[in-house]
Amino acid sequence: MQIKIFTTGGTFDKVYFDAESEFRFGEPIVGALLEEANVSFAPDIESLMQKDSLDLDDDDRGRIRQAIERTDNDRILIIHGTDGMVATARRLLDVTDKTIVLFGAMQPARMRYSDAIFNLGFACAAVQLLPPGVYLAMNGQVFDPRRVVKNRARSRFEPLEE
C-alpha cells in the first residue's frame, strides 16, 4: 500500500529559533519520523507549502485540492496547521473516491513533549481503515469536518454541540 502525504506547514514542522525566541518552519520531518517508526507502507511525500494555517487563503486551499485531484493515490494524509485545518477539510468535502485525513500538532514534532508523533501514527491508521471521505485525526479521535471545532483554551479538537 502506498500513502500520499502532503505537507503544508503548520506547527508540526516548526523549529525553535533560539536567537530570535520564535518558531519558524524547518524541513518537513514526516519522512524521518516514519522511517524511525519502521512503517511497512510506502509513503510518497510532497511538500506543497510551508505556511502557518492562519495565513492560508482560498488560493492555497485550491492548490491543496489540485494536488489531491492530480494524484493517483486514493489514501491521502495532509499535514496541516490546526487553526485552518477545518476550513481546508471543508473545502475538500466533495472530493470523491479518496480517503483524505488531515492532521497536525499543537507542539512542533521536534519538541520532546509534542502530540505530533501520536497524531501522525493515529492518522496513518485512520487513512488505512476509513472509507472514502474527508476526516480530521486529532487528539485520538476522528472527526467529521462539518461537526468539529478547535478548542484553543483546551488545546484540542472537539465535536460541535448539536
Q: What is the CATH number of the domain that holds 123?
A: 3.40.50.1170
pLDDT for 33 equals: 67
Where in the sequence is the domain holding 122, given as residue range(s)? 2-159
| Cβ atoms of residues 8 and 80 within 8 Å | yes
| Higher-confidence position of 62 and 161 | 62
Q: In this model, does residue 20 exceed pLDDT 60? A: no
* DSSP sequence for 2-22: EEEEEEEESGGGEEEETTTTE
pLDDT for 58 equals: 93
Query: pLDDT per residue over 59-108, tens digit each?
Result: 999 999 999 999 999 999 998 988 899 999 999 999 999 999 999 887 66
* DSSP sequence for 90-134: HHTTT--S-EEEEE--SS-TTSSS-SHHHHHHHHHHHHHHSPSEE
Q: Average pLDDT of 106-121?
A: 73
Whole-angstrom distance, CA of residue 117 vs CA of residue 111? 10
Pairing relation of β-strands 148-151 and 156-159? antiparallel
Whole-angstrom distance, CA of residue 22 vs CA of residue 4? 31
pLDDT for 22 equals: 56
pLDDT for 143 equals: 96
Angle at 32 between CA 29 and CA 35, to 5 degrees: 150
Q: Which pTM does this prediction carry?
A: 0.85
Name the percent of the chain lying above pLDDT 90.
46
Question: What is the total count of domains within the chain?
Answer: 1
Q: In this model, does residue 29 exceed pLDDT 70? A: no
